[in-house]
A and B are shown apart, each in its own frame.
Chain A
Amino acid sequence: MDGKVLEIIEKHRNDDSKLLAILHDVQNEFGYIPEDAIKTIAKELGMKKGEVYDAASFYSFFKFEPEGKHEVMICDCIVCHIKGSERIIERIEKEFGVKMGETTKDGKFTFKVVEGLGHCESSPVMMLDGKIYGDLTPEKAMEILRGCE
Chain B
Amino acid sequence: MLLLKDARNVEDYLAQGGFKALRKALEFGQDEIIKEVETSGLLGRGGAAFPTGLKMKFVRKERKTPKYIVANADEGEPGTFKDRVLMERNPYQILEGMIISAYAIGAKKGFFYIRYEYKEIAKDIERKIEELRRLGILGPSIYGSKFSFDIEVVLGAGAYVCGEETALMESIEGKRGFPRIKPPYPAQYGLWGKPTLINNVETLANIPVVMSMGGANYSRLGKEGCSGPKLFSVSGFVKNPGVYEANLGEKTIGEMIELTGGVEGEFKGLMIGGGAAGFILNEEYLDMPLCFKDAKERGLFLGTGDIIVFNESVNIWDILLNIAKFFEHESCGQCFPCRYGTKRMREIIEKIVRGEGRKEDIEKLNATARAMKIASLCPLGASAMLAYESAMKNFREELMGVIQ
Contact = CB atoms under 8 A, between A and B. Distances in A.
The short answer to whether A and B are in direct contact, CB under 8 Å, is: yes
Nearest to A58: B176
A116 interface: yes
A77 interface: yes
Interface in B272-327: 275-276, 308, 310, 313-314, 318-319, 322-323, 326
Interface stretch (B13-21, B74-82, B356-364): B74-82
A82 B310 contact: yes
Interface stretch (B96-104, B113-121, B345-353): B113-121
A128 interface: no
A79 interface: yes
A59 B77 contact: no
B221 to A, nearest CB: 25
A60 B152 CA distance: 23
Interface in B132-164: 152, 154-160
Contacts of B313: 82
A17 B117 contact: no
A117 B322 contact: no
| Candidate in B116, B271, B332 with the most chain A CB atoms within 10 angstroms | B116
Interface in A5-46: 15-21, 23-24, 45
Contacts of B115: 118
A70 B323 CA distance: 28
Most buried by B among A16, A62, A117: A16
B119 A130 contact: yes
B271 A78 contact: yes
Contacts of B389: none
B242 interface: yes
Contact of A116 (B78, B156, B236, B319): B78
B90 interface: no
Interface string B152-195: 10111111100000000001111111100000000000000000
Contact of B322 (A16, A76, A118): A76
Interface in A71-97: 76-79, 81-83
A118 B275 CA distance: 11
A121 B235 contact: yes
Nearest to B157: A59
Given A17-B174, A18-B174, A118 B154 contact: no
Given A17-B152, A61-B158, 10 more contacts: A15-B152, A20-B154, A55-B174, A62-B158, A82-B319, A115-B76, A115-B329, A119-B81, A120-B81, A127-B117
8 smallest CB-CB distances across A and B, nearest first, come from A19-B174, A59-B157, A58-B176, A61-B158, A60-B158, A77-B78, A120-B235, A121-B241
5 contacts: A78-B79, A116-B326, A120-B79, A120-B308, A121-B233
Interface of B: 75-81, 84, 109, 111, 115-120, 152, 154-160, 171-178, 233, 235-237, 241-243, 271, 275-276, 308, 310, 313-314, 318-319, 322-323, 326, 329-330, 332
